Amino acid sequence: MSRLRVGIIGLGEVAQVVHLPVLTSLPDLFEVRSACDISASLLSAVGDRFGIPGRYLSTSEMLAQEELDCVLVLNSDEFHAQCVVQALDAGAHVLVEKPMCLSPREADEIIAARDRSGRTLMVGYMRRFAPAFLQAKERLESLGRVNYVRVHDVIGRNQLIVDQTSHVDRPTDIPAELAAERGARGAALVKEAVGDVPAELAGAYRLLCGLGSHDLSAMRELLGRPNAVIAAHRNQTNGFITALLEYDGFLVTYETGVDEQLRFDAHIEVYGETATMRVQYDTPYVRHFPTRLFLEETAGDELRTTVSRPHLKDPYTAELEYFHHAVVSGEQPKTSAEDFVEDLDLFAEIIRVLDKS
């Protein structure tokens, strides 16, 4: 089995709490050889904690100096496309955290870089690799006719959970000009994607690209792409979004928002004619909290409820194992760049409907 030499771009929260511990738990598949971050303090602290030998302040320097098989792009969304293209052009396979990018132009540039490099490019949609989600796909046809679907993701800020369960080094040495560049870059990319919309709709687009990308991507794999967004509303007080999505023969209600409660409530619930199925996710920031599948069935006079926990393997571990297989086998990953573009189109459609409401 090939052991892949890995470079990490971005050493923030998700790298420290999730990706580096998971990579360390898969020593037969991956060897973390180097990392880069614009924070020198993070490079030192996280590099020491995880024993990363190569440490760089820029992506270009790391790619020029290191012999890497693959790169994980885990930095801020605004810079995903730039780093993905650099890594592909340097000959590395790439796993990029969602969202792959923020604008259609960036997506085109990434696809062109992947095609000319011949390397694997995979988007990090870990919920689609959860054992319970895969089991739900197998069970879907057994529900009979689909009558209604609810996609729900209302959570407390991730840091509320992270601060109770993990140690995270948070940098204080980010140069002010780089922080300003990040903000300006993000605003320009959102304008490029959805036009010159009000600030609250630009924020809604960023929420969809971030948290919403998990929900809508998993929904698409389970049900296909919706025919249309027929209604959408954004609460002006708290930014919560509700959308109504049309499919052939049924509707999907999508609900999402972030608040200050210490809980994580994310699920996809499919109401069939004779049974109802719910994939219930827990926070990914505490490893091995299981994703569960609830099935409610009518059998004669009996209403029977079963709960399945197919495996304790966390979705991030399953995702990285899948990425390794895709790289070694040369198979096109299901969470491809083209697959992500489907979500980017859906985010923009929701914003267009919100803008008219």
Distance (Å, rounded) from C-alpha 259 to C-alpha 232? 20
- pLDDT of 79 reads 97
Angle of the 199-207 helix axis to the 176-194 helix axis, nearest 10:
90
How far apart, in whole angstroms, are the C-alpha atoms of residue 318 and residue 126? 8
The three-point CA angle 21-327-108 to 5° equals 100
| pLDDT tens digit sequence for 140-172 | 999 999 999 999 999 999 999 999 999 999 999
Q: Residue 32's pLDDT is what?
A: 98
In this structure, the answer to whether residues 161 and 277 fall within a common structural domain is yes
Q: Mark whether 134 and 81 lie in a shared domain.
A: no
Whether 98 and 24 map to the same domain: the answer is yes
d(CA 62, CA 264): 36
Integer angstrom CA distances of residue 160 from 17, 157, 258, 264: 13, 6, 11, 10
pLDDT value at position 1?
Answer: 54
DSSP line for 171-216: -S---HHHHHHHHHHHHHHHHHHH-S--HHHHHHHHHIIIIIHHHH
- Token duo for residue 118: 């011949």
Same domain (yes/no): 293, 326: no
- C-alpha distance across the termini of the chain, in Å: 54
Chain centre to alpha carbon of residue 125: 4
Instruction: Give kind and range of the element (H or E) at residue 67.
Output: none
Predicted confidence at residue 205, as pLDDT, reads 98
Count of domains for the chain: 2
Same domain assignment for residues 136 and 219: yes
- Residue 306 sits in the same domain as residue 220: yes
CA distance 279 to 293: 5
Give the per-residue pLDDT at 178. 87
CA–CA distances in Å: residue 230 to residues 121, 242, 252, 340: 33, 11, 10, 22
Tell me how far the alpha carbon of residue 15 is from its chain's centroid.
Answer: 13
Domain co-membership, 209 together with 147: yes
Domain shared by 84 and 202, yes or no: no
* Contacts for 188 with CB less than 8 Å, ≥ 6 apart: none
Provide the token pair at 163: 């601060």
Domain of 214, CATH number, reads 3.30.360.10
Q: What is the pLDDT of residue 85?
A: 98
What are the pLDDT digits (tens) for 200-235?
999 999 999 999 999 999 999 999 999 999 999 999
pLDDT computed for residue 175 by the predictor: 86
Q: Are 116 and 176 part of one and the same domain?
A: no
| Residue ranges making up the domain that contains 23 | 4-124+319-335
Kindly state whether residues 46 and 145 are assigned to the same domain: no
CATH of the domain at 43: 3.40.50.720
Domain match, 138 and 224 both = yes
Give the model's pLDDT for residue 331: 96
Of the candidates 254, 269, 266, the one whose C-alpha atom is nearest the C-alpha of residue 291 is 266
Look up the pTM and report it: 0.96
What does DSSP assign to residue 335?
Answer: S
Domain match, 120 and 134 both = no
In this prediction, the residues of the chain whose per-residue pLDDT falls under 50 are none
Task: Output the six-digit token pair for 128.
Answer: 């689609």
β-sheet bridge partners, residue 25 = none
